[in-house]
Protein backbone atom coordinates (compact mmCIF):
# COMPACT_ATOMS: atom_id res chain seq x y z
CA UNK A 1 0.00 0.00 0.00
CA UNK A 2 3.00 2.30 0.50
CA UNK A 3 3.70 2.30 -3.22
CA UNK A 4 0.24 3.79 -3.88
CA UNK A 5 0.90 6.64 -1.44
CA UNK A 6 4.33 7.29 -2.98
CA UNK A 7 2.88 7.17 -6.50
CA UNK A 8 0.09 9.58 -5.54
CA UNK A 9 2.52 11.96 -3.80
CA UNK A 10 4.76 11.99 -6.89
CA UNK A 11 1.81 12.70 -9.21
CA UNK A 12 0.65 15.56 -6.96
CA UNK A 13 4.15 17.04 -6.92
CA UNK A 14 4.43 16.78 -10.73
CA UNK A 15 1.03 18.45 -11.20
CA UNK A 16 2.00 21.25 -8.81
CA UNK A 17 5.28 21.92 -10.64
CA UNK A 18 3.57 21.86 -14.05
CA UNK A 19 0.90 24.33 -12.92
CA UNK A 20 3.55 26.73 -11.63
CA UNK A 21 5.49 26.51 -14.91
CA UNK A 22 2.32 27.22 -16.93
CA UNK A 23 1.56 30.37 -14.92
CA UNK A 24 4.96 31.97 -15.55
CA UNK A 25 5.38 34.39 -18.43
CA UNK A 26 8.68 34.06 -20.26
CA UNK A 27 11.20 36.83 -19.70
CA UNK A 28 12.07 38.78 -22.84
CA UNK A 29 14.38 41.66 -23.72
CA UNK A 30 13.74 44.16 -26.48
CA UNK A 31 15.46 47.51 -27.06
CA UNK A 32 16.87 47.59 -23.55
CA UNK A 33 13.48 46.88 -21.94
CA UNK A 34 13.06 43.89 -19.65
CA UNK A 35 9.78 42.05 -19.13
CA UNK A 36 9.46 40.36 -15.75
CA UNK A 37 8.00 36.86 -15.75
CA UNK A 38 5.08 35.77 -13.60
CA UNK A 39 1.47 36.82 -13.23
CA UNK A 40 1.59 37.66 -9.54
CA UNK A 41 2.72 41.26 -9.96
CA UNK A 42 1.65 43.58 -7.19
CA UNK A 43 1.26 47.04 -8.70
CA UNK A 44 0.50 49.16 -5.65
CA UNK A 45 0.53 52.80 -6.60
CA UNK A 46 0.81 52.10 -10.33
CA UNK A 47 -1.61 52.79 -13.14
CA UNK A 48 -3.52 49.93 -14.70
CA UNK A 49 -4.67 50.98 -18.17
CA UNK A 50 -6.83 49.20 -20.72
CA UNK A 51 -7.39 50.52 -24.24
CA UNK A 52 -10.28 49.46 -26.45
CA UNK A 53 -11.11 50.43 -30.02
CA UNK A 54 -14.64 51.67 -30.55
CA UNK A 55 -16.63 53.07 -33.44
CA UNK A 56 -15.70 56.73 -33.59
CA UNK A 57 -12.76 56.63 -31.19
CA UNK A 58 -11.09 54.74 -28.38
CA UNK A 59 -12.04 53.87 -24.82
CA UNK A 60 -9.46 54.24 -22.04
CA UNK A 61 -10.15 52.46 -18.73
CA UNK A 62 -8.11 52.91 -15.55
CA UNK A 63 -8.39 50.35 -12.75
CA UNK A 64 -7.39 51.30 -9.23
CA UNK A 65 -7.69 49.48 -5.92
CA UNK A 66 -8.45 51.59 -2.85
CA UNK A 67 -7.11 49.84 0.25
CA UNK A 68 -8.95 52.13 2.66
CA UNK A 69 -12.38 51.25 1.30
CA UNK A 70 -11.37 47.79 -0.01
CA UNK A 71 -12.94 48.57 -3.37
CA UNK A 72 -11.86 48.58 -6.98
CA UNK A 73 -12.47 51.88 -8.75
CA UNK A 74 -12.80 51.94 -12.53
CA UNK A 75 -12.62 55.24 -14.42
CA UNK A 76 -13.55 55.33 -18.11
CA UNK A 77 -12.59 57.97 -20.68
CA UNK A 78 -13.51 58.28 -24.36
CA UNK A 79 -11.14 59.76 -26.93
CA UNK A 80 -12.90 60.51 -30.21
CA UNK A 81 -11.29 60.17 -33.63
CA UNK A 82 -11.37 63.97 -34.03
CA UNK A 83 -9.02 64.39 -31.05
CA UNK A 84 -5.27 63.78 -31.20
CA UNK A 85 -4.94 60.41 -29.46
CA UNK A 86 -1.41 60.74 -28.06
CA UNK A 87 -2.02 64.23 -26.66
CA UNK A 88 -5.33 63.29 -25.04
CA UNK A 89 -3.92 60.05 -23.61
CA UNK A 90 -1.05 62.01 -22.09
CA UNK A 91 -3.53 64.40 -20.44
CA UNK A 92 -5.58 61.51 -19.06
CA UNK A 93 -2.52 59.70 -17.68
CA UNK A 94 -1.33 62.90 -16.02
CA UNK A 95 -4.78 63.45 -14.48
CA UNK A 96 -4.97 59.88 -13.17
CA UNK A 97 -1.44 59.89 -11.78
CA UNK A 98 -2.21 63.07 -9.81
CA UNK A 99 -5.21 61.43 -8.09
Report the C-alpha gap between 58 and 48 in whole angstroms.
16
% of the chain with per-residue pLDDT over 90:
14
3-state secondary structure of 92: helix
Q: 4 and 28 share a domain?
A: yes
β-bridge partners, 34: 29
pLDDT at 86 over 80: yes
Residues 58 and 95 in one domain: yes
Concatenate the DSSP letters of all residues of 1-65 into one string: -HHHHHHHHHHHHHHHHHHHHHHPPPP-EETTEEPPP-S----TT--EEEEEEETTEEEEEEEEE
Using an 8 Å Cβ cutoff, are 80 and 57 in contact?
yes
| Structural domain harbouring 4 | 1-41
Give how far the C-alpha of residue 89 lies from the chain's centroid of Cα atoms, to the nearest Å: 19
Same domain as 93, residue 52: yes
Under 8 Å between Cβ of 91 and 62: no
Q: Is the model's pLDDT at 92 over the cut of 60?
A: yes
pLDDT tens readout for residues 31-77: 555 555 554 555 555 678 889 998 999 999 988 877 788 888 888 99
65 & 29 share domain? no
Amino acid sequence: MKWVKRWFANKCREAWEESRQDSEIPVSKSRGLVAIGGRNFDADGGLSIQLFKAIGGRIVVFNNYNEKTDRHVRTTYIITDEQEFEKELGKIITLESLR
